Amino acid sequence: EVQLVESGGGLVQPGGSLRLSCAASGFTVGDDCMGWFRQVPGLGREEVATIHPYGRTTYANSVKGRFTISQDNAKPTLYLQMNSLSPDDTGMYFCAAAASVGSRCATFQYWGQGTQVTVSS
């Protein structure tokens, strides 16, 4: 059974960094699409970053150049390195998994419980 467990969230000052982790079980990380999403109160959910089984990555425009998604297929774990954090990055971050269909990801159907990231001074 697929399970995703996020960790690494917390309170950080603007300009700081955090690395989120997502421990995966029930599937091989390298064979599926993985992604990070965030929910911001009052603004809804947005896709932050995704990674294709063969390494292609996508990022929301708001995080390009600051966030890096990566995966360790051996552990297996998904990561989101977040640098130069802004209060606008505050939200609940979720790890998700989807089947890979060609060069695209199918609907993300497996989700973790979320980890809170708060950026505030």
pLDDT tens sequence across 49-60:
999 988 899 999
Cβ-in-10-Å burial (0-12, 13-18, 19+) of 46 comes to middle
Task: With beta carbons less than 8 A apart as the criterion, state whether 47 and 63 touch.
Answer: no
What radius of gyration, in Å, describes the C-alpha atoms of the chain? Answer: 13
Q: Say how many C-beta atoms besides its own lie within 10 A of residue 99's C-beta.
A: 16
Closest CA to 55 of 72, 38, 67: 72
Q: How far is CA 74 from the centre of its chain?
A: 18
pLDDT tens sequence across 62-110:
999 999 999 988 888 999 999 999 999 999 999 999 988 888 889 999 9
Q: What is the pLDDT of residue 76?
A: 87
pLDDT tens sequence across 1-42:
889 999 999 999 999 999 999 999 887 667 789 999 999 988
Query: Residue 20 has which token pair?
Result: 């989120």
Residue 27's alpha-carbon distances to 2, 79, 97, in angstroms, are 6, 16, 9
Q: What is the pLDDT of residue 29?
A: 66
Q: What is the pLDDT of residue 116?
A: 98
